[in-house]
Structures are given as structure tokens and as C-alpha cells.
Amino acid sequence: MEPKDRIIVALDVRFPEEAISLARKLFSYVGCFKIGLQFSHAMLSSLINPGTESLALNNLRTIRELFKLLKGNILWDGKFNDIPNTVAGASQEVAKLGVKMFTVHASAGKEAVVRAVENKGNSLVLGVTVLTSIDEEECCSIFGKGPKEKVLEFARLLEQAGADGIICSPQELKVLVNSGSRLLRIIPGVRPEWASKADQKRVMTPSEAIKEGANYLVIGRPIRNPPKEIGGPVEAVKKIEEEIASAFREIR
């Protein structure tokens, strides 16, 4: 893969017009776009409660145009976390969209992940583990173990269930690689040195994450709203691509 193919841009926006504007700017510069909980619900809201029927129809056209533009290069980050039958149904429906990848939360349990895999169609199933906003103390409070130990436990569950990849913070990459896990590693919590960490707590730079073994980097705010001195979204992506390319040169 080229460096650009490893970048997944998070379309965490409020309106379909915002999403398609960003996608048009970046489609040639990145490999994939993440549609998460904010924008998936924003699309629904824009169709059901836009104010007028005319605006609803305009939003529908924009959403259809967006999906046509993206050509399936979508990570649908629904984080399905429910009983196995419900996860199976949700997986079946999102697979009909022709997305490249979609997410199920590993904490839903092995059977739920198995049912997602059974109904994935041509998509890849990715298992969400410990969110990057959760620190060591909170992770122990929720899961009874620290992030590294819990991510490894989730990784074993995901492999046994037949999942294709895992989503975790970059700080768990080394232990995953050393464990011999064959799962694709899709990594949020990636922040260039020039970007704010915001609410992310377990983060790394793009270069560090690639060197630790990341296959894909999910990046949102640093690309959507980069510092003024960086420029706009295209300039931000180009800087990240250069950082990824430099990291691979060092590895080789």
C-alpha cells in the first residue's frame, strides 16, 4: 500500500454537505473514510427532521452522491454491541451498503462477533477494544484489567471468532505484534506533533504508530481542522503522508 492508502479520515461532521465537501477535497489523497456514530445519526436526522420536505430530499441526494463518490471506501464505525441476533441483523444491513469495513465491539462477546462475521458479506469485520479516551485507571474500573492485558484478551477472542482486524490505541500495538496476532491493526488516537490531543489519552504520532506496527491510521480532527500554520485538510493529509513514508523508510 502507498502511504495515502493507510489513512482513514473520520467524517465526524453534523451535516451531509460538510461530509461531501470534505470527501471531495480528500478522496484522491486518502484510502478510506470513517462514518461513525455522529455522522450516521446526523444523516438520519437530516432526512427525518430537516424542517422541510424539500430540504430532506436535497439531503437525500447529497447522501446518495456521497456514497457514490466514496465507492465503498468506508469504515462504518457502528461499534455494534448487543445480543448476537441483533449484531447479526445490523451486520447484514450494513454489509448491503458495500462498505470496506465495519466495527463490532469485542465486549459484546465471542458469539456476537461470530454472527457479525457470518453476515459480513464482502466487508471486513473489525473488533473495537478499549477506547482511546479511557486511561489505565478507568480501564481497570470497567474491565478489571489494564489496557494492554485487556486488548490482548480481546484480540484472542476476535481471532477465535474469525474477525479480520482489531481497533485499539497505538500504545497496545507492540504487545499485539509481539503476541503474533494476525489481525489487521486499525489505530485511532493518532495525533501529529502539531495537533492537539483533545480528549484522546493514549496517543502516538503517525510515525510512531507505523513503526509500532499499525496497518491503518484513523485520523479526524487534525485533518478536518488543522492549525492555521499547517493550512487546510489537503495540506494536513500531505504532511501525514510524508510522515508515514518517512517511517517506512526508517523501518526498511
Give dist(CA 13, CA 19) in Å, integer.
Answer: 6
What pLDDT score does 198 carry? 62
C-alpha to C-alpha distance for 236 and 228, rounded to whole angstroms = 10
Residue 101, pLDDT > 90, answer yes
DSSP letters spanning 126-182? EEE-S-TT--HHHHHHHHSS-HHHHHHHHHHHHHHHT-SEEE--GGGHHHHHHHT--
pTM of the complete model: 0.94
Q: What percent of the chain has pLDDT over 90?
A: 92
The pLDDT, as a whole number, for residue 252 is 78
Mean pLDDT within 71-80: 97
Confidence of residue 94 (pLDDT cuts 50, 70, 90): very high
Let me know: does 165 contact 127? Beta carbons within 8 Å.
yes
pLDDT category of residue 187 using cuts at 50, 70 and 90: very high
20-30: pLDDT as tens digits: 999 999 999 99
State yes or no: is 79 an active-site residue: yes
| Domains of the chain, start order | 3-251 (3.20.20.70)
| Percentage above 70 pLDDT, the chain | 97
Q: How confident is the model at residue 1 (pLDDT cuts 50, 70, 90)?
A: confident
In this prediction, residues 172-196 reach a mean pLDDT of: 92
Mean per-residue pLDDT, 46-53: 94
Residue 251: pLDDT band (50, 70, 90) is confident
Q: What is the pLDDT of residues 194-243, one digit of tens each?
A: 887 665 566 799 999 999 999 999 999 999 999 999 999 999 999 999 99
Annotated catalytic residue: which of 4, 34, 79, 120?
A: 79
* pLDDT at residue number 197: 65
In this prediction, residues 32-37 reach a mean pLDDT of: 97
